[in-house]
Structure 1
């Protein structure tokens, strides 16, 4: 179903349309996952470690906006799966850091490639004008994601 251009004239209408479209796109991308048995929360945690590098569980919980005990359980499952590893903290012996294993890095790469391949195919199906508009919108969407 196409969006009603009348609704896009107001900021509130544009916000509603973007919210719905981005939520649908996110769900579609999730379905394109490489074949693994990680939950969305586990995969988000693995991705966060991939972005931040070696990180303490507390810092990771803060980044992911979850309670530390919840993060501890997620980390335990990921360590058990062999995609994260715990190491002693380099300066504070009371803490540990978690980082990707080689297997975790491969899984992240496969996941990203599968999603990007699916999205690239959808983009190729757009008209040249639509692709130009999307290229112009990409930096704006990035800016919105960081506000």
Structure 2
């Protein structure tokens, strides 16, 4: 008996759940993923400027929240290549939503900042998305809204992992 215990002590711990979910867990994961993507798609459709892509809006929102960034920092944040980010910033600049200025410390770098017009686009898009979601939530029963409030907290925890 001791030899059996000893041999198990040297082996790696067995995870509580398999890495690849099966059955009920897999069905929940798939259903949750599909519902999350559908809701995100509906929210993305609520935008102030129809011609603005999701990637372009993400850059504007990041600049509004975090302040000026270099092309490299924006590319890293959005997980795209610097040339791809340069194309995105070019479009935003042509529309008057961002400006480029030389970096004070390193003249080889350029800082990208959101303009007042870009800020207004972000603010209006957020307002529209919140209004759409508020209207959708208002049609739910109080118990359903409480369930969604609890689910929102769980979703933040899952996303932080």
Q: TM-score range by the shorter chain?
A: 0.7 to 0.9
- Whether 1:39 aligns to 2:59 is no
Counterparts of 2:98 and 2:115 in 1: how far apart (Å)?
A: 5
Please, which of 6, 12, 15 is the counterpart of residue 29 of structure 2?
15
Among residues 24, 31, 38, which one is paired with 1:24 in the alignment? 38
Matched, 1:128 2:128: no
TM-score for both structures, normalised by structure 1: 0.88
Greater Rg by CA: 2
Q: CA deviation at 1:57?
A: 0.4
- Cα deviation 1:34-79 (Å, max 9, x = unaligned): 2442122211221222232111100100110101100001101101
> Partner residue of 2:119?
105
Q: Which SS does the other structure have where 2:63 is aligned?
A: helix
Q: 1:87 — aligned with what?
A: 101
Instruction: Tell me: CA distance 1:91–1:19, structure 2 relative to 1, closer, same or farther (3 Å).
Output: same
Stretch of structure 1 that moved more, 82-91 or 110-119: 82-91
Q: CA deviation at 1:84?
A: 0.7
- Structure 1: give runs of 5+ residues left out of the alignment: 1-8
What root-mean-square deviation, in Å, do the aligned CA atoms of Structure 1 and Structure 2 show? Answer: 1.4
* Deviation of 1:140 (Å): 1.4
Runs of 4+ in 1 over 4 A off after TM superposition: none
Give the match's secondary structure for 1:98. strand
In the alignment, structure 2 segments of 5+ residues that lack a partner are 1-22
Length-normalised TM-score, structure 2: 0.81
